[in-house]
């Protein structure tokens, strides 16, 4: 398991999307996601939901949920089971590194099932 604990905006996007719709990829609550290893399909998924959108401010990038690197990414799920958020570029970079590390360590191959667990947001003091 790779932690996204230090990526608050990405974690919020995942929580928000998993809280509605089909709960895809949510552990013990919905069907799993499945890895998509074809870089052309991954790019098409990312383009389908984020392409052509301009960030509202510098230093932000489009984060899609489910991940473009899953077969459920892009527009393959109904609109209520997917979403995007504008997150800081450095979070997006860190997430990419962590998911890549996870796939390699755990040998998550093309078509393999996976779940994404995001812990509830801690209460604010």
Residue 3 confidence (pLDDT): 67
From CA 105, how far away is CA 13, in angstroms rounded?
Answer: 25
Residue 124 confidence (pLDDT): 57
Q: pTM for the whole thing?
A: 0.88
Which residues of the chain register pLDDT less than 50? none
Sign of CA dihedral 3, 42, 31, 109: negative
Residue 27 confidence (pLDDT): 87
Burial of 41 (0-12, 13-18, 19+ CB in 10 A): middle
The DSSP code for 120 is P
Residue 60 confidence (pLDDT): 95
Residue 21 confidence (pLDDT): 85
**Phi, psi (5° rounding) for residue 114?**
-150, 155
Can you list the alpha helix ranges (DSSP code H) found in 26-109?
39-50, 89-106
């Amino acid at each position: 398991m790779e932690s996204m604990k230090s990526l608050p905006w990405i974690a919020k996007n995942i929580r928000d999307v998993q809280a509605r719709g089909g709960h895809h990829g949510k552990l013990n609550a919905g069907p799993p996601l499945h890895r998509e290893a074809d870089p052309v399909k991954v790019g098409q998924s990312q383009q389908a939901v984020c392409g052509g959108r301009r960030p509202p401010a510098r230093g932000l990038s489009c984060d899609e949920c489910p991940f473009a690197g899953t077969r459920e990414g892009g527009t393959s799920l109904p609109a209520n089971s997917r979403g995007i958020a504008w997150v800081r570029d450095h979070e997006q970079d860190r997430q990419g590194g962590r998911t890549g590390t996870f796939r390699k360590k755990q040998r998550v191959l093309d078509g393999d099932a996976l779940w994404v667990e995001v812990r509830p947001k801690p209460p604010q003091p």
